[in-house]
Structure 1
Amino acid sequence: MGSKRHLYSVGTEWKGNHGHGTQSWHVYGRNHDITAEGKPVIHGSADPSFHGDPTGWNPGELLLASLSACHKLWYLGLCAGAGIIVTAYRDSAEAVMMETPQGDGAFESALLRPVITLASGSSITRAQALHDQAHAHCFIARSVNFPVICEPVFQIV
C-alpha cells in the first residue's frame, strides 16, 4: 500500500487593527479568526502575557489541544480494533513553553494525563499497551521537536 498525502487548509484573518495598524507594538490587537470551510470559526488571540485576549484560543493552547486530540483518536481506534471497550476518556493536558529574554521561545515539553474508563472485564495491561501504541502513532506528537509524555490513569466501571 502506497503513502497517502493529506492536505489541510485553514484561513487566519487578523481582527486587531484598531485604526492605526501596527503603528506601535502596544496599539494593535492580537485577535484573529481561524476558519475552514463548513466549520465553526475559532476565535484566537495571543497568550495574555503577549498582550492577547484571554478569551481567545492562543496558538500554544491549540498546539496542546491537537496533541491531546490526536492521541485520543488513535487510542480509541486501537481499542475498538482490539475489543477493549472504553466508556469515557478525559484528558487534562499541560505544556511548558520557555521564553528567552529576547521574547522568542520554544515548547520544552507536553504532558498528557488521560483518565480512561474501561468496561468491566477489561484488561488494564492490554489497555496500557494500546495507549503506548497510540502514542507511537500520533502524527502530531511525531511532528513536534519536544517530548510528549503520557501518564494515563485507568478505571474500570
Structure 2
Amino acid sequence: MSEHTVTVTWRRTSTSFDYETYNRDHSWSFDAGVQVRASAAPAFHGDLDCVDPEEAYVAALSGCHMLTFLAVASRKRLIIDAYEDHATGFMEKNVHGKLAVARVVLRPRVRFSASVAPSQDELAKLHEQAHHNCIIANSVSATITIEPA
C-alpha cells in the first residue's frame, strides 16, 4: 500500500573503534527533507542531546495513537482543541532474556470543545478504537497501556 524510507548515516569520528569509545552520533534523513540528529541512548554511550532509537520508538507509538485518535474523533464529529501525551517506554528483558522496550505507557490528555466532551466511558472507547487501528501499535509486540488523564 505504501513505502516509507529513511536514510541513516553514520561515520566514524573517533580515533578508535573500541566499544567504549567509538562515536554513536548519526543522522536520520526523511523523505520530506527533515534531518534528525540521533545517537544511542546515554546508557549505551550515546549523546544526551540527540534522539535515540528507543525515544523515537515511543514517539512513533504516541504519535500514531494520537493521529488515529484524532481521526476516530473527527469521524464521530467530536471536536478536539488540544492533545498532549507524556509517553514512557520501559526497557526490560523480554521472554528471550534480551533487552527490549517491552512496555509503553501512553498518557494522553485530550481537550475537547466544551460543548461536545464525551463521558469517561466514551473516551476510553475512543482510545481503544484508536489503539486497535494504530498502524505502529499493530506492528509491534510491546505491551502498550493507555492511561487517559
Normalising by structure 1, what TM-score? 0.85
Aligned AA (1:111): V
Instruction: Quote the residue 2:142 is aligned against.
Output: 146
Larger radius of gyration: 1
The Cα shift of 1:49 comes to 0.8
> What are structure 2's unaligned runs of at least 5 residues?
none
RMSD of aligned C-alpha atoms?
A: 1.8
The Cα shift of 1:99 comes to 5.3
Change (3 A) 1:133 1:67: same
Identify the match of residue 49 of structure 2 among 55, 65, 83: 55
Instruction: Quote the residue 2:38 is aligned against.
Output: 44
Instruction: Quote the residue 1:18 is aligned against.
Output: 14
* 2:84 is equivalent to residue 90 of structure 1: yes
Instruction: Quote the residue 2:106 is aligned against.
Output: 112
Distance in 1 of aligned mates of 2:106 and 2:140: 14
Instruction: Quote the residue 1:76 is aligned against.
Output: 70
> What are structure 1's unaligned runs of at least 5 residues?
none
Aligned AA (1:145): S
Aligned AA (2:105): L
Instruction: Quote the residue 1:28 is aligned against.
Output: 22
Normalising by structure 2, what TM-score? 0.90
Aligned AA (1:49): A
The Cα shift of 1:142 comes to 1.2
Distance in 1 of aligned mates of 2:21 and 2:58: 29
The Cα shift of 1:16 comes to 3.9
Aligned AA (1:27): T
Aligned AA (1:152): P
Identify the match of residue 8 of structure 1 among 4, 7, 20: 4
The Cα shift of 1:45 comes to 0.2
Identity between Structure 1 and Structure 2 (%)? 30
Per-residue deviation, residues 74-116 of structure 1 (Å, max 9, x unmatched)? 000111111111100000000101259xx95112200000000
Instruction: Quote the residue 1:133 is aligned against.
Output: 129
Instruction: Quote the residue 1:121 is aligned against.
Output: 115
